[in-house]
Amino acid sequence: MTRQIVLDTETTGLNPKLGNRVIEIGCVELVNRKLTGNNFHCYINPERDSEDGALAVHGLTTEFLNDKPKFAEIIDGFLEYISGAEVVIHNAPFDMGFLNAEFARVGFVPFSDHVEGVTDTLVQAKELHPGKRNSLDALCDRYEVSNSHRKLHGALLDAELLADVFLAMSRGQNSFSIELKDPIKVEVHEEVVIDTSIQQILVLQASKSELDAHALLVSGIDKETNEKAIWKNTEF
């Protein structure tokens, strides 16, 4: 059984080293790449105000968070939920930096020590789509995941969107074969005869206009990826 947890957080600001805190955690469970509905979600009292920029993103006010549990009160349940799973995060260093700071504040070892591993979908997206926008919104558009109901950032909602994006983006990586429930039956109505008497293979040379078009295409790839194509330095 492969268990993966897609995770997102909301925070009071951008830098935990400046005292910013986690205020919301949202997690979605995948077992063998299937959504189970066994999610984890909580709001957290950060014991401080959110910075204006962060508040504009998530809309979670100090007044709303004042009666929510502190991080020390939710960590046991959170650890029980994520323990031993592979965790999937978009821009993992950001969320892990905050979680590690929260874990250290209550005397726990770093977040990564409690899980099987961490997959960063931002890194995956940059490898698949170099030079393209790879924010969660951009990936939702690219993989046709509806996010029309996303007015403000929310940890659970973003984790649910990311789970759909992750499944779409990594589709086909589990196996190199296509498994079919029922085998396809092929009926052969006539014998196919292959003429093996042809000894010479015809080679069609590209025209000058085709070569020029190819060179223009390769130059465009170079410009988009900011790298020189390897085959330009290869002699045939």
12 lies in some domain: yes
CATH number of the domain to which 31 belongs: 3.30.420.10
Q: Which residues contact 110 (CB under 8 A, 6 or more apart)?
A: 100, 103, 104
14 in a structural domain: yes
On the question of pLDDT at 173 being above 90, the answer is no
In percent, the amount of the chain with pLDDT more than 90 equals 69
Asked, for residue 196, whether it belongs to a domain, the answer is: no
The per-residue pLDDT for 182 is 44
User: Looking at residues 176-180, what average pLDDT do you find?
Assistant: 36
Question: What are the beta bridge partners of residue 51?
Answer: none
Structural domain boundaries enclosing 19:
3-169
Q: Is residue 110 part of a domain?
A: yes
Specify if 96 maps to a domain: yes
Mapping DSSP to helix (H, G, I), strand (E, B) and coil, where does residue 111 land?
A: helix
Question: Is residue 153 annotated as a catalytic residue, yes or no?
Answer: yes
Helix axes 155-169, 121-128, angle to 10 degrees: 40
pLDDT of residue 228: 63
pLDDT of residue 179: 39
- Is 38 part of a structural domain of the chain? yes
**Residue 154 within a domain:** yes
Each residue of 137-164: pLDDT tens digit? Answer: 999 999 999 988 777 789 999 999 999 9
Q: Which of 41, 58, 114, 153 is catalytic?
A: 153
Q: Looking at the domain assignment, is residue 34 inside a domain?
A: yes
What pLDDT is attached to residue 152?
A: 75
The residue ranking higher by pLDDT, 146 or 225, is 146
pLDDT tens digits, 29-75:
999 999 999 999 999 999 999 999 999 999 999 999 999 999 999 99
The pLDDT of residue 161: 96
Count how many domains the chain has.
1
> Buried b / exposed e across 150-186, counting CB within 10 Å, b at 16+?
eeebbbbbbbbbbbbbbbebeeeeeeeeeeeeeeeee
Contact indicator for 58, 154 with CB cutoff of 8 Å: yes
Q: For 98-112, write each residue's pLDDT tens digit.
A: 999 999 999 999 999
When comparing pLDDT for 19 and 220, which is higher? 19
Residue 127 has pLDDT above 70, yes or no: yes
Mean pLDDT, the chain, rounded, equals 85
Q: Can you state the percent helix, strand and coil of the chain, rounding each to 5? A: 40, 15, 45
The pLDDT value given to residue 29: 98
